[in-house]
Amino acid sequence: MEPDLTLVRHLKAKGRFEEAQAQLQQWLAEDPANPRLLWEMAVLLDNRNKEADAVLYYQQAIELGLDRMHLADAYLGWGSSLRVIGRYSESRQVLERGIAEFPHHAGLKVFHALTLWTLANYGDALGELLEVIVKTGADETLEPYRATLAYYRDHWRDRS
């Protein structure tokens, strides 16, 4: 039976992160292979700037079959946390796995672009960001420039 996560959400909303973490640890002690609890712990740690600790929880949650509703966010969190702690190549691999599974998820692509930038792959990072803007940019001020941005996305390599 899945624990009622309302308590954890309430504690987090009140800034009582240690208590929320203690509750999750208690539930994980009882059910250590619960992907949803692992994901909740990963997110909590990530939000507390404990990315190094969050990485394993994200990885385990995904490997143990996290539900599809939270899976893209888990890939994003895992890849982002890896980048923050300096594990750039792993970050790229994780985010690419996420993009392969969720090819239309703009957040995954943006965080992938951040990793590419960190790896000094500036052109591909820019191209990926332009792709996200062209496909998902809802701001009406972008509309007159959408074709131009699409051109730059497709031809940035032409410039030396």
The average confidence (pLDDT) of the chain is 89
Q: What is the pLDDT of residues 90-130, one digit of tens each?
A: 999 999 999 999 998 888 898 899 999 999 999 899 888 88
DSSP string of 119-152?
TT-HHHHHHHHHHHHHHH---GGGGGGHHHHHHH
Question: Could you tell me which of 79, 136, 80, 130 has the C-alpha nearest to residue 106?
Answer: 136
> For position 160, what pLDDT does the model report?
47
> For position 153, what pLDDT does the model report?
75
Give the contacts of 79 (CB within 8 A, at least 6 positions apart).
91, 92, 94, 95, 98, 108, 111, 112, 115
Q: What does the block give as tokens for 13?
A: 């909303």
Average pLDDT of the residues in 64-76 = 95
pLDDT band at 1 (very low <50, low <70, confident <90, very high): low
Look at 74 and 137; give whichever has higher pLDDT: 74
- What distance in Å separates the CA atoms of residue 68 and residue 60, rounded to the nearest whole number? 15
pTM over 0.75: yes
Handedness of CA 113, 117, 120, 122 (dihedral sign): positive
Q: Is the pLDDT of residue 53 over 60?
A: yes
pLDDT band at 48 (very low <50, low <70, confident <90, very high): very high
Q: How many residues does the chain have?
A: 160
> For position 142, what pLDDT does the model report?
63
- What distance in Å separates the CA atoms of residue 34 and residue 118, rounded to the nearest whole number? 33
